[in-house]
Amino acid sequence: MPCDSVVTNTVRLESIKDHALLERALRAEFGQVTQVRSGRFVFTVAGTSVTLEEGAATSRLSSDRLVDVVNRVKVAYGKAAVEYSAEQFGWIVEWDAAEAGAFQLIRN
């Protein structure tokens, strides 16, 4: 491969309809997120830009690293959905530090 070539990897995500919730999840997981336009987000992982648009994550990260990023997005989105739903019902979410993904809902 020539030294001046650029390799871009793309990994498909299932369609995510709630862009506000997705942005909230991305901010919680990766920090700064830019919403370029509705449904298109750009954030940085390990100093490399990642674009998330129309269910696809695209980046110059290796395929393995990009798959890890997609998995982090899915987990973060799930957590954001739980927290959002809990807020709607006035509940508090306590995440279990010992077991990833485990949580307890407490009535407020």
Instruction: Give pLDDT tens digits for 5-31.
Output: 556 777 677 777 788 898 999 999 999
The pLDDT of 82-89, averaged and rounded, is: 88
Mean pLDDT over the full length of the chain: 84
Phi-psi region at 64: left, alpha or beta (left = phi > 0; alpha = psi -120 to 50):
alpha
pLDDT score recorded for residue 4: 56
Round the CA-based radius of gyration of the chain to a whole number and report it.
16
Q: What is the mean pLDDT of residues 38-63?
A: 89
> How far apart are alpha carbons 96 and 37 in whole angstroms?
35
The pLDDT value recorded for residue 42 is: 94
Average pLDDT over residues 85-93: 88
CATH class of residue range 9-79: alpha beta
Report the range out of 24-28, 34-38, 52-56, 96-100 with the highest average pLDDT.
24-28
Q: What's the pLDDT at 48?
A: 92
Helices vs strands, H then E, count in the chain: 2, 7
Is pLDDT larger for residue 96 or for residue 1?
Answer: 96
3-state secondary structure 25-76: HHHHHHCCEEEEECCEEEEEECCEEEEEECCEEEECCCHHHHHHHHHHHHHH
Rounded CA separation 35/52 (Å): 10
